[in-house]
Structures are given as structure tokens and as C-alpha cells.
Amino acid sequence: MVVVVIIGLLAVLAVAGLQRVRERTMISRTANDLRAMAQAFEAYNLENGAWPPDAAPGAIPSGMAGRLPAAWNQPPSVGGLWEWDYEPATPLVSITLYQHRATLAQMTALDRLIDDGNPSTGQFRINGAEWNFRLTP
């Protein structure tokens, strides 16, 4: 009986540790994808003197075919879709995580990894149910 209890406790500890590693991997992958996508959009802006036009969630923005990493066509590791938001009147220029399934704690951890760790300030911000990785201040 003691052996069964010990094995059960070890299994619980192993599962918890595995979950933490899985979550850190998911956050790191999302951060790397965002950085690669941001570089593609910034290169487009430098070459063309303007940002690509706004695009629907999951759609490749006009002029970006072949420029974006393969991750753009795949669901983000936190779920949902990637979206290019370009609203000159706002001015919002961002890569958006649309309809994700991540918790606020997970997204705050992502914010700490790529920005200032505060969801309401900096380059990576919460915007209602979406998160924007802003390419302009």
C-alpha cells in the first residue's frame, strides 16, 4: 500500500512538472513566431515605404505571400488565428492573436518574455479579447 501511495505521489509531481514545461514551450514558441513575423512585416515596410493593407484573421496580407514564416498559416500554439491589423487612423500596426485560448497568466508570461510584462503597456498589449504585438509605438 505504501509503495502504491509513493508511486501515486511521484506520478502527480511528474505530471505537474510536465505541464509547466509544456506551457513554457508554448509561450516560447509563440514569442519566436511573433518575432519572425514582425521581422517579415518590418522588412516589407522598409522595402515598400508602407505597411501591407489590413487583412482578415487567418488571411495572408496582400504583398506578404512568400515573406511570412510558415507559422502564419498554422494555429498559434496558444490557439486561435494570426491576424494582421493595419488601421492608419488609429494608428494601429500590429500582429494580433485572434480568438486564442490562453489564460491571462500565460499571456502575461509571454509579455514578460517579449516586452515589459505589463499587459496594458508596451509593445505587446491586451485589446479586449485580442492581444496586439504592435510594430509602431
Q: What is the pLDDT of residues 85-131, one digit of tens each?
A: 999 888 889 999 999 989 999 999 999 999 999 999 999 999 888 99
Give the pLDDT confidence score for residue 69 in this predicted structure: 95
What's the gap between Cα 131 and its chain centre? 8
What is the three-class DSSP state of 17? helix
pTM listed for this prediction: 0.84
Q: Is the pLDDT of residue 2 over 90?
A: no
Asked whether 93 and 61 are in contact (CB, 8 A), the reply is no
In this prediction, residue 10 has a pLDDT band, given cuts at 50, 70 and 90, of confident
Q: C-alpha grid cell for residue 112?
A: 514578460
The predicted pLDDT at position 54 comes to 95
**Distance of alpha carbon 21 from alpha carbon 15, whole angstroms:** 10
The single-letter code of the amino acid at 83 is E
**pLDDT tops 80 at residue 77:** yes
Q: What digits encode the pLDDT tens for the residues 18-71?
A: 788 788 888 999 999 999 999 999 999 999 999 999 999 999 999 999 999 999
Residues across the chain:
137
DSSP letter at 71 equals G
- The whole-angstrom separation of Cα 41 and Cα 136 is 11
Is 36 in a helix, a strand, or coil?
Answer: helix
pLDDT at residue 46, as a whole number: 96
Report which DSSP code applies to 136: -
